[in-house]
Amino acid sequence: MGLSKKLMTQLFTNLVRAYHFDELFARRLTRGELIGFYHPAAGHYAPGVAAGTVLEKEDYMWPHHRAHGVPHMLSKGCDIKYFLAEHTGKETGCCSGRTSWHWSYPEFGIFGMTGFIGGGFSQMVGYGWAAQKNGRKQVAMSCTGDGSFNNGRAHESMLMASNWKLPIIFLCENNGWAIHSRIEDMHPTEDIASLAPGLNIPAAIVDGQDVFACAEALQEAVKRARKGDGPTLIEAKTVRWREHDIGTPDLDGYRQRTKEELEALHDRDPLKIATQQVLETKLLTQAQIDKIHEDALAECDACEKFADESAIAEPTVEELRASVYAD
């Protein structure tokens, strides 16, 4: 395996953190302690964790909306308490409580998001362009779902990245679904990666349930990008154990997803797989693993405490008017 022990430990730790944060966000949404909606990871943790972990702080990133980007952001080093505060409408939120669910961590190369899927592909070209020109060997990581590759923005973004050999990694987190729609009905080939040759982009397909496999492929792609060899498309095959967003029926078209299908998806639990790997390779002991879980839970608690104790964001209209434009 081409991953250092340090990186593997980080990946494992971030995976555990992503898992616990996903539980936290899902629980809070269900209890009415989170504003808006929540699109749970529910099995779909590893690609985002890998993407965030292999990057440097100053690299650019577009996190995926799945799990509201938390796996990606926490792995990149962002403190999730600001995002949770945002998601609960607090003054301390990463967008000053103005969105309920948008991220913004400019120091980490994460500038915001949009509710329009595919919207990130467009600005990704600009991140890549900036990264290429500024000479600091930054890269830009685009994390989006399988469904987003059916959008024309994906085509334009990959095409321009390829033309200009921009340092962009296109990570397709393919969980096989877009809301109620099976990828088989929405995308004409088996793999999203099949788009890459037509755009002269190298591609790889990896097991999205294996965080180490994801990281290896992504690390390779990041290396290529930093060397100036251009973009890569990485397709990580992952799963979605639950409904698209909490509370929405979990349908296959217009019929309930079957129990059998859902159960089968649990065969490959990214946390179990990673745990087995770190134990087998003796990277970590059970005691160390337990400690990682404990720390993650403590971090979750601290974030909740921070968010819950922060004041509600209720600026005056004058304050808001004064912040529409930058000086």
Partner 1 sequence: MVQMTYVEAIKSAIQEEMRADDSVFMVGQDIRGAIYPHSKGLVEEFGEDRIVDTPMSEFGMFGTAFGAAMTGEYRPIVDFMFAACSFCAGETLMVQLGQQYFLHGSQTPVPMVILGACGTGKRLANDHSYIPRAEILHRPGLKYVFPSTPADAKGLMASAIRDNNPVFFLYHYDLLMDKGEVPEGQYYIPLGETEVKREGTDITVLANGLMYKHAMEVAEKLEGEINVEVLDPRSFEPFDLDTLLASLEKTNHLVIVDEDHARCGFAAEVMAQVFEKGFDLLDAPIERVCIENMPIPGGYMEPTVVPTPEKVEAAIRRVLA
Ligand X SMILES: Cc1ncc(C[n+]2csc(CCOP(=O)(O)OP(=O)(O)O)c2C)c(N)n1
Q: Binding residues for ligand X, per CB under 6 A?
A: 39, 66, 115-118, 144-148, 175, 177-179, 244
145 sits near Mg ion (criterion: CB under 5 A): yes
Task: Determine the interface stretch with its own copies among 26-34, 50-58, 88-96, 196-204 (rule: CB under 8 A).
Answer: 196-204
- Verify binding: residue 199, its own copies, rule CB under 8 A: yes
Return the residue matching tokens 């650019």. Answer: 60
Cβ-based nearer residue to ligand X, 146 or 235? 146
Return the exposure string of 272-309: e unless at least 16 CB atoms fall within 10 Å of the residue's CB, then b: ebbbebbeeeebbeeeebeebbeebeebbeebbebbee
Footprint of Mg ion on 190-219 (CB under 5 A): none
The residue count for the chain: 327
Which option in its own copies, ligand X, partner 1, none does residue 95 bind, with CB closer than 5 to 8 A by kind? partner 1
Q: Any idea what DSSP says for residue 255?
A: E
**Mask for 214-253, x = binds its own copies (CB under 8 A):** ----------------------------------------
| Distance in Å, CB of 182 to Mg ion, minimum | 10
Closer Cβ to its own copies, 53 or 162, answer by number? 162
Nearest distance in Å: CB 183, its own copies: 11
Instruction: Pick one of its own copies, Mg ion, ligand X, none as the site partner of residue 201 (Cβ within 5 to 8 A by kind).
Output: its own copies
Distance CA 113, CA 154 (A): 16
Pairing of the two strands 232-237 and 203-207: parallel
CA 236 to chain centroid, in Å, comes to 12
Phi, psi (5° rounding) for residue 240? -135, 110
Of 236 and 303, nearer to ligand X (C-beta) is 236
Q: Which residues partner with 172 through β-bridges?
A: 144, 235
Which partner from the list its own copies, partner 1, Mg ion, none does 323 bind, CB cut-off 5 to 8 Å by kind? partner 1
Burial class (CB in 10 A: 0-12, 13-18, 19+), 147: buried
Q: How far apart are CB 161 and its own copies at their closest, in Å? A: 9
- From the list 95-103, 189-197, 208-216, 277-285, the region that binds its own copies by CB under 8 A is 189-197
Return the axis-axis angle of helices 80-87 and 286-309, rounded to nearest 10°: 40
**Beta strand 60-62 pairing with 181-182:** unpaired
Alpha-carbon span 113 to 62, nearest angstrom: 8
Pairing of strands 232-237, 168-174: parallel
Which partner in ligand X, its own copies, partner 1, none is near 293 (CB below 5 to 8 A by kind)?
Answer: none
* Pick 63 or 270: Cβ nearer partner 1: 63
In the block, which residue shows the tokens 């296959």?
A: 252
Which residues on neighbouring strands pair with residue 40, listed in sequence order?
Answer: none
Q: Which does 189 bind (CB under 5 to 8 A by kind): ligand X, partner 1, its own copies, none?
A: its own copies
Interface residues for its own copies in 136-155 (CB under 8 A)? 150-155
Binding at 175: pick from Mg ion, its own copies, partner 1, none (beta carbon under 5-8 Å per type): Mg ion
CA angle 263/214/56 to nearest 5° reads: 135
Which structure tokens are listed for 33?
A: 């302690």
In this structure, how many other beta carbons lie within 10 angstroms of the beta carbon of residue 109?
A: 22
Report the residue number, 258 or 323, with the smaller CB distance to partner 1.
323
Binding site for Mg ion (CB under 5 A): 145-147, 175, 177-178
Name the site residues for its own copies (rule: CB under 8 A): 150-156, 159, 162-163, 185-189, 194-201
